[in-house]
């Protein structure tokens, strides 16, 4: 069929440029008198010379352009440790050098957020360290974006998500290093220094104030998502970038459509097989995904696992779930909801999602069931080899 078509094309004696439109795309047949009986090579000889020259004229730049495009669309990557995790950005751009520069700028943007939110950082750099350092002393003026993040959390109605758990986190970090559990007394002491109600904001001055000395804000459950979102937006706004993937330790945002037009495929970590997946999410451009789990940072005492995601009401690691993955259009929200869903009973999270259609989730409950929210029906492909029991809502 192909050969026949070639013969058909090259044997036409009346191939010409439509002079009313000089665009090469308007190269058309207007008449084919008869198909030549000559072979392909023979037919080629009948091609009018001006056509050949025109073809050469247009094909040469096209060949160079094609080669240049292929070269320019190569993927570039960069990896950096920050925010207690590893951050990787993959981007495909029109110009490889520019793509590399844009990736570095996106990483610098993320590092800036990391520095400003690092509660162990120097007060000259970290706004959160400044707020914590002035706890019980004076309100601290912060930048608009930091104020927005804190204000967002305070405006949410879920007490399970608390950014004032700094003293508790410090206590558990010490316990992890010493491989012991916290005593009741020290746990209660740390819990007295927590509570969103003791965090006050002044919108006019954009100040943040912790009411008691020793209190501290911990944005660990939000900063990565925030940084990933900002990096994703930065990459999306660059005209050189075709597509990109920002991965901040599993907090992921995809930008643009892949060159082969296929969906982005993101595996969800199997919480009990660190080399396995629960399944694969098919993400569309602009979507984000984040996972919180009990396997990321933990220690064991007497065979029990103690991880880093704490329940404010008890001060102990939450046992309601094993992992929670949230899918949204915004990496900051994905980070927030993955932590929140990890802390809530699965039924409550799934019920909440019915009222928030822009958020979907895959939750591995402590009942060993993988709950898949209704909106992921066509976007999540479960791992058939997995031993988990799946339940599609």
Partner 1 sequence: MKKANGFIGKNDLYIAGLILLLSLLSFIPALANWEAAGGRVFVAAQETELFSVRLAQLKQGNVFTQSFASAAGPITFEFDPEKGVRVIGASCPDKICMHMSYINKPRQMIVCIPGKIYAAIEAPGTEGELDAISR
Q: What 3-state class would DSSP assign to 380? A: strand
Residue from 262, 222, 258 nearest 243 by CA: 258
Among 110-118, 123-131, 156-164, 287-295, which window interacts with partner 1 (CB under 8 A)? 287-295
SS3 content of the chain, % helix, strand, coil (to 5): 35, 25, 35
169-198 residues near partner 1, rule: CB under 8 A: 176-177, 179
- Of 11, 247, 349, 373, which one interacts with partner 1 (CB under 8 A)? 247
Per-residue DSSP letter, 255: E
Round to the nearest angstrom and report the end-to-end CA distance of the chain: 49
Q: How many residues bind partner 1 (CB under 8 A)?
A: 62
268 binds partner 1 (CB under 8 A): yes
30-49 residues near partner 1, rule: CB under 8 A: 44-49
- Of 35, 137, 265, 347, which one interacts with partner 1 (CB under 8 A)? 265
Q: What are phi and psi of 114, to 5 degrees?
A: -60, -45
- Of 99, 117, 216, 325, which one interacts with partner 1 (CB under 8 A)? 325
Per-residue DSSP letter, 174: H
**Both tokens assigned to 295:** 């396997």
CB of 317 to partner 1, least distance (A): 14
Q: Is residue 263 a contact partner of residue 284, using CB atoms and an 8 Å limit? A: yes
240 binds partner 1 (CB under 8 A): no
- Of 168, 215, 281, 372, which one interacts with partner 1 (CB under 8 A)? 281
| Beta partners for residue 3, in sequence order | none
| Beta partners for residue 369, in sequence order | 389
Per-residue DSSP letter, 320: S
CB of 94 to partner 1, least distance (A): 16
| Beta partners for residue 289, in sequence order | 252, 327
- Of 43, 164, 251, 318, which one interacts with partner 1 (CB under 8 A)? 251
52 binds partner 1 (CB under 8 A): yes
**Entry field: residues in the chain:** 393
What is the binding site for partner 1 (CB under 8 A)? Answer: 44-49, 52-53, 56, 59-60, 63-64, 66-67, 70-71, 74-75, 78-81, 84-86, 88, 90, 176-177, 179, 245, 247, 249-252, 254, 258, 260, 262, 264-269, 273-275, 277, 280-281, 289-291, 293, 296-299, 325
């Amino acid at each position: 069929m192909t050969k026949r078509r070639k013969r058909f094309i090259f044997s036409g004696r009346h191939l010409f440029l439509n002079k009313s439109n000089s665009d090469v795309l308007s190269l058309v047949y207007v008449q084919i008198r008869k198909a030549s009986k000559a072979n392909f090579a023979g037919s080629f000889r009948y091609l009018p010379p001006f056509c050949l020259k025109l073809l050469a004229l247009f094909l040469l730049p096209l060949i160079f352009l094609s080669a240049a495009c292929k070269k320019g669309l190569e993927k570039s990557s960069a990896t950096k440790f920050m925010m207690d995790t590893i951050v990787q950005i993959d981007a495909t751009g029109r110009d490889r050098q520019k793509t590399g520069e844009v990736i570095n700028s996106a990483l610098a943007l993320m590092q800036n957020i990391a520095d400003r939110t690092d509660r162990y950082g120097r007060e000259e750099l970290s706004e959160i360290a400044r707020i914590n350092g002035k706890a019980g002393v004076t309100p601290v003026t912060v930048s608009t974006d930091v104020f927005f993040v804190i204000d967002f959390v305070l405006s949410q109605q879920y007490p399970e998500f608390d950014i004032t758990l700094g003293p508790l986190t410090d206590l558990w970090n010490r316990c992890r290093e010493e491989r012991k559990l916290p005593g009741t007394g020290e746990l209660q002491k740390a819990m007295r220094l927590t509570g969103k109600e003791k965090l006050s904001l002044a919108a006019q001055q954009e100040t943040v104030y912790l009411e008691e000395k020793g209190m501290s804000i911990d944005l660990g459950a939000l900063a990565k998502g925030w940084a990933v979102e900002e990096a994703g937006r930065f990459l999306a706004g660059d005209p050189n970038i075709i597509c990109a993937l920002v991965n901040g330790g599993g907090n992921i945002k995809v930008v643009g459509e892949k060159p082969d037009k296929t969906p982005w495929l993101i595996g969800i970590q199997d919480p009990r097989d660190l080399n396995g997946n629960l399944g694969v999410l098919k993400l569309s451009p602009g979507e984000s995904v984040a996972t919180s789990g009990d396997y990321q940072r933990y220690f064991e005492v007497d065979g029990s696992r103690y991880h880093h995601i704490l329940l404010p009401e008890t001060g102990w690691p939450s046992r309601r779930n094993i992992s929670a993955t949230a899918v949204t259009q915004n990496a900051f929200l994905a980070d927030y909801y993955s932590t929140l869903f990890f802390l809530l009973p699965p039924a409550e999270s799934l019920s909440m999602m019915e009222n928030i259609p822009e958020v979907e989730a895959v939750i591995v409950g402590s009942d060993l069931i993988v709950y898949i929210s209704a909106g992921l029906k066509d976007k999540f492909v479960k791992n058939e080899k997995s031993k988990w029991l799946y339940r599609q809502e």
